[in-house]
Structure 1
Amino acid sequence: MAPEHRNTHRYLAMRELLHTLDGTLPGRLEITREGITCDATTPNAPHELTALRIRRLLEQAIPNGLVAYTGMPDVEDEPIQILRRPDIMVIAEADMEGEGAFDPRTLLAPIEVVSHSNPDNDWVGKMRDYPLLGIPAYVIFDPRTGTGAVMTDIHPTPEGPRYATRKDFVYGETVTVADWTIPTDTLPSYP
């Protein structure tokens, strides 16, 4: 069997396992280039409140036809063998039609709220995977520190595509994502 077929078989087995385990374990399971990762704790109140407030702020800032979406399905690229579940996705409503996972190339930006249990998933793993999936912008809000970052401008590197531009911010500042700006002064920090 050719290596790419073994890899495809391995990925499909991981995806089946992930869907079988959904709802039976606390946290969220995703497939990265390294395998299955788990954010082991159930999101806490500050995490969910942050995601809710960001979504509402985005809904006020983005034009008609775009949505700030916080549900399922996944974002998946089967040939690249990555399946991610962003906290919030900015996507055209028309691109949500159809069955199965969203095509990552239709996302304008995934937005992640860093968890206590697995911050490297957002700061390292997704920082690597989202440009590999061709997503033009990636935004991280980190309630642990009251900071965040907006990543843009995908460029090639020997290790694969990466974001070339990173704009850090502190809660209280206004953040620009693509053509939209949102305030961050109402976002909670973790205790």
Structure 2
Amino acid sequence: MTTAQDHARQGASHIYRAMRDVVQSMDDADTVPGRFEITRKGIVHDMMAPIGPHELTTLHLRKRLEKVMPEEIVAHTGEPDVEDAHEGVMRRPDVMVIDLVDMDVPGSFDPRTLHAAIEVVSRSNPDNDWVGKVGDYPLIGVPVYAVFDPRTGTGAVFTDIHATPDGPRYATRKDFVYGEEVTVAEWTISTDGLPRYKDEDVSS
């Protein structure tokens, strides 16, 4: 017997596939700057500068993490996305801490195989990192989410996914300021000297 809940799931799945097709077509066209992601609330367009403090921060974090992690674990930047089609979420973290073996898959990464997702806050859409992803990442099983914010020189690490009436949420948040050491999953790195946005970085 088909229930109303089954119909709702099928409808949600159809909508997600349609949004995924739109995102794929925009990525393939490569005519619109920035990045498109799918959240529980729809498609998000994050306008990012191709160079500058955002990308430099990502580079610093990748290099610092890979100095302290074993060789079989990497701080990956770039494609592909992490995706949970059942939850209707497709994101692309700035840095994905993941085992090399778990990267050898067709299509998107399984978010539950990540050790951590790291985002460098975009100046154009900070709520995407501070609000949207704080809700999406525990929902799809990313165990640790770290946020670095070049606007303020601060950040936070979210851990300990637990069930709530509104769905999975992170139970623990540890804030830090640039200059302090920060622990992401099992690895501690310095935040000293990370770049900050300047007044002219209006599109970062």
TM-score bin (small chain): over 0.9
Q: Is 1:47 matched with 2:54? A: yes
CA contact (8 A) 1:43 1:115 kept: no
Choose from 70, 77, 83 the match for 1:70: 77
Distance 2:111 2:79 in 1: 13
Structure 2 unaligned segments of length 5 or more: list them: 1-5, 199-204
CA contact (8 A) 1:112 1:139 kept: yes
Choose from 111, 118, 125 the match for 1:104: 111
Write out the 4+ residue segments of structure 1 that deviate beyond 6 Å after TM superposition.
none
- Superposed displacement of residue 53, structure 1: 0.3
Tell me the equivalent position of 1:137.
Answer: 144
Distance 2:72 2:153 in 1: 31
- Superposed displacement of residue 137, structure 1: 0.4
Deviations 1:57-83 (A, max 9, x none): 000011221000001011001111100
- Superposed displacement of residue 177, structure 1: 1.4
- Superposed displacement of residue 44, structure 1: 4.0
Choose from 12, 30, 33 the match for 2:17: 12
Instruction: Output the amino acid matched with 2:159.
Output: T
Instruction: Output the amino acid matched with 1:9.
Output: H
Q: Is 1:151 matched with 2:148? A: no
- Superposed displacement of residue 49, structure 1: 0.3
Tell me the equivalent position of 1:183.
Answer: 190
Distance 1:125 1:179 in 2: 25
The alignment covers a number of residue pairs equal to: 191
Tell me the equivalent position of 1:81.
Answer: 88
Q: Matched residue of 2:146: which SS?
A: strand
RMSD: 1.1
Deviations 1:162-182 (A, max 9, x none): 111100000000001122100
Distance 1:81 1:93 in 2: 25
Distance 1:98 1:155 in 2: 28
Compare CA radii of gyration and give the structure with the larger one.
2
- Superposed displacement of residue 91, structure 1: 0.2
Distance 1:10 1:42 in 2: 30
CA contact (8 A) 1:136 1:152 kept: yes
Distance 1:42 1:188 in 2: 14
Distance 2:187 2:159 in 1: 14
Instruction: Give the TM-score normalised by structure 1.
Output: 0.97
Instruction: Output the amino acid matched with 1:5.
Output: Q
Tell me the equivalent position of 2:202.
Answer: none
Instruction: Give the TM-score normalised by structure 2.
Output: 0.91
Q: Matched residue of 2:71: which SS?
A: coil
Distance 1:71 1:40 in 2: 16
